[in-house]
Amino acid sequence: MSTFYSGQAGQLYINGTKAAKVSQWSFNAAQSTLDTTTLEQTDRTAIPGIRSTSGTCSLYYYEQDSGANSCSELIDYLIKPATDHAAAPGVAPLSQKVTLRLQSGASRYIQGDVWITSASMTMAVGAVLGAEVTFEFDGAPSLDTL
């Protein structure tokens, strides 16, 4: 059956678990090219170079009855407190990769291991707390059925 996909069908999975209260996700796949133009040619030629995939997602800071908080879980892959702040304030555990699945429908998604590259949160009067998270894929996506 012909169909459109909209935000109602969108989902985000963090390490295989569906994240709660996701307001948006997006990704960008890019292909660089390597110039192969030689002196006898009049028009630029190229071969494929390196691909890269990155994206963003926004989650509300929503705590479920179970205590689970997808937003908190995700930003914790980036934000690491110092192991011994008094002795070595500049030493903290390294960031960890996380597996994200950006799903546009029941069987339509792109999945891969990503590094969280930024997370920003703003608490404001009259607004629900949430986080804007950017990420970059480590290598190619592991699954892609988009």
Partner 1 sequence: MTAYPAIAPSSRSYQAGDWPVKTFNAQDGAEVRILYGDKRFGHTLDLSYRNIPDTQAEEFMLHYFSVQGTYQTFALPTSSGVAKGWEGNLSFYNAGYLTQWRYAGPPVLTSVRPGVSTVEIRFSAVLLAS
List residues binding partner 1 (CB under 8 A): 34-41, 47, 49-50
How far apart CA 28 and CA 53 sit, in angstroms, is: 6
CB nearer to partner 1: give 49 or 139: 49
How far apart CA 48 and CA 50 sit, in angstroms, is: 7
Apex 2 CA angle, 110 and 9, nearest 5? 40
Could you tell me the smallest distance in angstroms from the CB atom of residue 114 to partner 1? Answer: 22
CB nearer to partner 1: give 34 or 140: 34
Could you tell me the smallest distance in angstroms from the CB atom of residue 52 to partner 1? Answer: 13
How far apart CA 97 and CA 109 sit, in angstroms, is: 19
Residue 40 structure tokens: 């006898």
CB nearer to partner 1: give 30 or 39: 39
Could you tell me the smallest distance in angstroms from the CB atom of residue 89 to partner 1? Answer: 40
